[in-house]
A and B are shown apart, each in its own frame.
Chain A
Amino acid sequence: MMSAFEYAPAPQSASVVDIAPSYGLFIDGEFRESADGKVFKTVSPSTEEVLSEVAQAGSEDVQAAVKAARRAFEKWSALPGAERAKYLFRIARIIQERSRELAVLETLDNGKPIRETRDADLPLVAAHFFYYAGWADKLGHAGYGPDPKPLGVAAQVIPWNFPLLMLAWKIAPALATGNTVVLKPAETTPLSALFFADICRQAGLPRGVVNIITGDGPVGAELVAHEDVNKVAFTGSTAVGKEIARTVAGTRKKLTLELGGKGANIVFDDAPIDQTVEGVVNGIFFNQGQVCCAGSRLLVQESVADELLESLKRRLGTLRVGDPLDKNTDIGAINSAEQLARITALAEAGEAEGADRWSPACELPSSGYWFAPTLFTGVSQAHRIAREEIFGPVLSVLTFRTPDEAVAKANNTPYGLSAGIWTEKGSRILKMASKLRAGVVWSNTFNKFDPTSPFGGYKESGFGREGGRHGLEAYLDV
């Protein structure tokens, strides 16, 4: 049923990207099959179509990749910083040139809307390479001593929610500081990393400096446990992060972890309602809520809760769920059947535990993995939906009366990645920001990122920072 104000479809053509029927591992500057010939399929979450077949790395491949990285390390780390910088500038430029192609690819493989890959992911990916390119020949000025040294071979394991952006966060600072890398993208989103391998080729990056191995969790576990790895960087679930921390215990491997979150978005009675509603929506529905720093708990001051919720529900009714390649789409597909099952189970737990569930009327496509934007009210702090990371488009709403109560509730979680504050009162923002135990605090905005800005968590959200001058430390022997 088409109303007068319905948008016409505005599809982005998928023809700008050419996905090969199969991909190998990228080791020592070339693509090769896995040693045992195993492969797995990667599908489009919005259609369940198979996009390509990708090599499943095994032990031998891990060995080969680390060996290639080790071999390349000697020359790469000895290169003058200014030369490494130029490689990174080349990569950054090529990413810009191929930006639309990569955005479409990412949308196909991940399920997130093209509006986000085009306008958020890809510009940030290029910006990260530009930012760290500039550091490569200025490391003596970074505050880590006059001549800080790289660590060696970095094992990097990244998640599926921002495949190319997480690659950029890991690879750009690693290369700038003179390390070489073996990166394993997530099993459900391997393609953009493999396209990145091709960018490395175009940039003329020396062989072995960047190696990409694809596969499942056990391959990642093997990679981080490899004895010739000097640095482990992981972004993903807290459970896996803990396992990795156990693995590297007692070794000299440097570790940084970027784990889960249960961000509180705190709205005071003097907050500008419309601006706040936009921020709350961005906070929890950006990338279908599959964001570690998502504002998944909304804490509203009691006196404005009704008014805010009314506006919020009205706004949710205008969100467009569907084809991620449509430029008007706000909410795309959930990344995998497995993730959809998890979101579904937690939402059901919310209902079972007595919270009130609400979703706007919206039709979901018949194939693919979809979850309607969902709001829970009447949530108590003990409810699973208020404590566990859902990693989906599900917002839990709680209320508070005083700033102290808001702080206590916001901090009442083992996580500490992000928080939001909405108020017109500057002194209150500063006080709240100082009391919230979170690595990033967005006031009167949410989900903003920039390569110059360190990002990372307190408590069980991990340790170490990515981005900015601080992000260099993870890859330097300091």
Chain B
Amino acid sequence: MSDARLGVLKTYKLFVGGKFPRSESGRVYEVTDSKGQWLANAPQASRKDARDAVAAARKAFGGWSGATAYNRGQVLYRVAEMLEGRRDQFAAEVGAADGLSKTKAAAQVDAAIDRWVWYAGWSDKIAQVVGGANPVAGPYFNLSSPEPTGVVAVVAPRKSSLLGLVSVLAPVIVSGNTAVLVAAEDAPLPALSLAEVLATSDVPGGVVNVLTGNAAEIAPSLAAHQDVNAVDLAGADAGLAKDLEVAAADTVKRVLRPGTGTDWFAEPGTERMTAFLETKTVWHPMGV
């Protein structure tokens, strides 16, 4: 008998509607670390999985967008608490996924947690910052306020498996959108573990849905889906991004294009939030 204990392997699964299904296609693909060592098999989501995820995200939209901003902030803050408790696990996964030293991996995890907290705090402030009263030339009360656009499909960045991921996911959901996330194909494990964190915090099922697999296979059906309101192309390469944008045109989706050389450690500003907000202007006559 060997002294070394044989570890229990984890079966990674998709995260759809608050549950952890295998891909309906029954497919998995091999995930390796940066040196090519086998880490796990990740589910290879299909177009059907993508449609199921959209349905779950749509179902969750009413409740999540209708929750008070204070409540959403509390829920997001709770996610950060859960992440904090799993720092070591994420550091190990991020280190393997991104090929980082222990120190650098830990720094990325810390930054990701801090980023999540930063966005949590925006929930009840973004409306004050980007909305407001309009002084119209007439006897009218007139107010513009931001509202979530709906279901947002996110192609997660291919680099920065946790910080990049958190930096694109948090701004989508903090304002009340629901998300279907396509994780980085080569580094999907931190995303699937983040799903476990989301499932054990207070995020309602369906608010975030995580798919792993080939973005070029999954994302086009999201970009073309009638019930998806916006797409974030952060992790799409130029060719895929163009195809997705063309597909998105058919339903006039809002498109956030990939940035060039995004520094995920830098403070992001409000752009990733406002990209998925509508402005609603309400008029009412003023008088007696």
Residues of A within 8 A of B (CB): 127, 143, 145, 238, 241-243, 245-246, 249-250, 252, 257, 259, 414, 429, 433, 438-445, 448, 450, 452-456, 458-463, 465, 468-470, 478
Contacts and interface: CB of A to CB of B under 8 A. Distances in A.
Contact of B249 (A249, A252, A468): A249
Contacts, number: 103
Nearest to A450: B136
B267 to A, nearest CB: 12
A460 B252 contact: yes
Contact of A242 (B136, B249, B254, B280): B249
B254 A463 contact: yes
A453 B279 contact: no
A445 B284 contact: yes
A443 B281 contact: no
B236 to A, nearest CB: 10
Given A440-B283, A450-B142, A460-B251, 16 more contacts: A243-B249, A245-B245, A245-B252, A249-B249, A250-B241, A250-B246, A429-B284, A440-B280, A440-B281, A445-B284, A445-B285, A450-B136, A453-B144, A455-B281, A459-B229, A463-B252
Contact of A452 (B135, B229, B246, B249): B135
14 contacts: A249-B245, A249-B249, A252-B257, A429-B284, A433-B280, A441-B283, A442-B283, A448-B136, A450-B136, A450-B138, A452-B135, A461-B252, A470-B144, A478-B271
Nearest to A243: B249
Chain B at the A interface: mostly helix, strand, loop or mixed?
mixed
Given A250-B238, A460-B252, A463-B252, A470 B279 contact: yes
B134 interface: yes
Interface string B248-282: 11111010010000000000010100000011111
B178 interface: no
Nearest to B245: A249
Top 7 nearest A-B pairs by Cβ distance?
Answer: A250-B242, A245-B249, A249-B245, A450-B136, A453-B134, A452-B134, A246-B249
Interface string B219-244: 00000000001000000001001100
A444 B136 contact: no
Given A439-B278, A439-B281, A238 B252 contact: yes
Nearest to A462: B252
Contacts of B138: 448, 450
B281 A454 contact: yes
A249 B238 CA distance: 10
Give the bracket for the number of chain B residues in contact with chain A. 35 or more
A443 B252 contact: no
B141 to A, nearest CB: 9
A127 B279 CA distance: 22
A225 to B, nearest CB: 14
A250 B248 CA distance: 12
A133 B194 CA distance: 48
Interface in B94-135: 129-130, 132, 134-135
B140 interface: yes
Contacts of A438: 280
B137 A458 contact: no
Given A439-B278, A450-B134, A242 B252 contact: yes
Contacts of A257: 252
Given A443-B284, A468-B144, A454 B249 contact: no
Contacts of B140: 445, 448, 450
A443 B246 contact: no
Contacts of A127: 137
Interface of B: 129-130, 132, 134-138, 140, 142, 144, 149, 229, 238, 241-242, 245-246, 248-252, 254, 257, 269, 271, 278-285
Nearest to A452: B134
A250 B284 contact: no
A450 B142 CA distance: 10
Contacts of B280: 433, 438-441, 458
B136 A453 contact: yes
A468 B249 CA distance: 26
A439 B129 CA distance: 18
Among A439, A441, A453, find the residue whose CB has the most chain B CB atoms closer than 10 A: A453
A453 B131 CA distance: 11
Nearest to A247: B249
A245 B231 CA distance: 14
A445 B283 contact: yes
Among B135, B138, B142, B250, find the residue whose CB has the most chain A CB atoms closer than 10 A: B142
Nearest to A418: B281
Contacts of A429: 284
B283 A468 contact: no
A221 B137 CA distance: 36
A438 B281 CA distance: 9
Contacts of A459: 229, 252
B282 A441 contact: yes
A238 B130 CA distance: 27
A459 B250 CA distance: 11
A256 to B, nearest CB: 11
Nearest to B274: A473
B215 to A, nearest CB: 16
A465 B279 CA distance: 8
A105 B254 CA distance: 37
A249 B246 contact: yes
Contacts of A433: 280, 282
Contacts of B271: 478
A440 B145 CA distance: 10
A442 B281 CA distance: 8
Nearest to A251: B242
Contacts of B278: 439, 458
Among B229, B252, B257, B278, find the residue whose CB has the most chain A CB atoms closer than 10 A: B252
A456 B269 CA distance: 24
A443 B283 contact: yes
A243 B283 CA distance: 32
B263 to A, nearest CB: 16
B284 A454 contact: no
Contacts of A462: 252
Contacts of A241: 252
Contacts of B245: 245, 249-250
